[in-house]
Amino acid sequence: MVLTIDIGNTRIKGAVFECDILIEQFVFEKKELQKKIENIFQKHQKISDLVIASVGNLSKSDFLAFENRLKVHFVSHNDAFPFINKYETPHTLGIDRMVLAAGAVLKYPKQNRLVIDAGTCITYDFIDAADNYLGGAITPGLNLRYKALNDYTSKLPLLELKTPKGVIGDSTAESIHSGVVNGLVYEIDGFIDKYKQLSLNFIIILTGGDADFLAKRLKNTIFANSNFLLESLNQTFQYKIKND
C-alpha cells in the first residue's frame, strides 16, 4: 500500500492506494499532520511507502519521524518523469504541476492534454502527444479573487463562494459573486478556446478543490476529477520505481 500526500498552500490532502485502486482519501489542516498520519497508519497497517509532493511550507523533518516504519519519498525535480520538460526555467516548475503532467501522460497516452488545476491558484499545463511539456499559465483561484477584492479595497466585503444569480449583479455582494465566479468561468473557457487555435484535438482534465463547482459551468467538454493530483502522485511513484 502507498500513502500519497499533497501539501498545498492551504490544506493537506492524502490518499491510500493499493496498486492503482484508491482505498480511502483524507483532507486535513497542516497543524493536524502528525495525528492524522498516525491515524491513517493505524487504520491501514500495510502501508509501505509514503510519497509526498509539496508546494506548501512544511519542512521535510515533519515526515522523517515516520522513516522507522516505512519508506519516505519526496517527489523532486530530479525524479524520473514520463515527459520531456520544455519549460524555459524547468527548476522553477512547481512539483504539483509536474505530477499532474505526469499523470496526464500516463493516463492518456499519445494525446494532447490540457490539465487545469483549480485550487488556491488556477494552473494550466499543456503536454503534447509526443509527451513534451510545453508550459501553461498561472492565475488566482476563486478564494484568492474574493480575498483580493477585500484586501485591496476599503469597502468591499470578504465573501464566501456562492453561485451568482446571473451575469448582472443587483447588489454589491451579487456583483462580487458575478465578477469572481463568472469571470473565472469565462477565463477558463477563453483559455481553452485559445488552446484550440493552437491544437485542434486535445483532452481537458479539470482537477483541484474547486473542480466540481466549476465543471458544470464550463461550456467545454472536460474530464473533471478532483482527485487527479493524488492519483497522479501514485502513478508517478510507480513510474519512478520502474525507471530508476
Domain boundaries, the chain: 2-74, 84-233
Q: What percent of the chain clears pLDDT 90, i.e. is strictly above it?
A: 69
Give the separation between CA 114 and CA 238, rounded to whole angstroms.
Answer: 22
Name the pLDDT band for 58 (thresholds 50, 70, 90): low
Question: Does pLDDT of 10 surpass 80?
Answer: no
Q: What's the CATH number of domain 84-233, 3.40.190.10, 3.30.420.40, 3.40.50.1820, 3.40.50.10490?
A: 3.30.420.40
Confirm if 23 and 1 have CB atoms less than 8 A apart.
yes
Confidence of residue 91 (pLDDT cuts 50, 70, 90): very high
Contacts of 111 (CB under 8 A, 6+ apart): 129, 201, 202, 203
Instruction: Note if 96 is an active site residue.
Output: yes
- 2-74 — its CATH code? 3.30.420.40
- Whole-angstrom distance, CA of residue 219 vs CA of residue 242: 39
pLDDT of residue 68: 80
CA 47 centroid distance within chain: 23
Q: Which of 6, 79, 96, 125 is catalytic?
A: 96
The 3-state secondary structure of the chain reads: CEEEEEECCCCEEEEEEECCEEEEEEEECHHHHHHHHHHHHHHCCCCCEEEEEECCCCCCHHHHCCCCCCEEEECCCCCCCCCEECCCCHHHCCHHHHHHHHHHHHHCCCCCEEEEEECCEEEEEEECCCCEEEEEEEEECHHHHHHHHHHCCCCCCCCCCCCCCCCCCCCHHHHHHHHHHHHHHHHHHHHHHHHHHHCCCCEEEEECCCHHHHHCCCCCCCEECCCHHHHHHHHHHHHHHHHC
CA dist 29 and 12 (Å) reads: 6
| Burial annotation 164-201 (CB, 10 A radius, 16+ → b, else e) | beeeebeeeebebbbbbbeebbeebeebbeebeeeeee
130-157 pLDDT tens trace: 999 999 999 999 999 999 999 999 999 9
Render pLDDT for 101-115 as a digit per residue (tens, 0 to 9): 999 999 999 999 999
Tell me whether the CATH fold assigned to 2-74 matches the one assigned to 84-233. Answer: yes
pLDDT band at 56 (very low <50, low <70, confident <90, very high): low
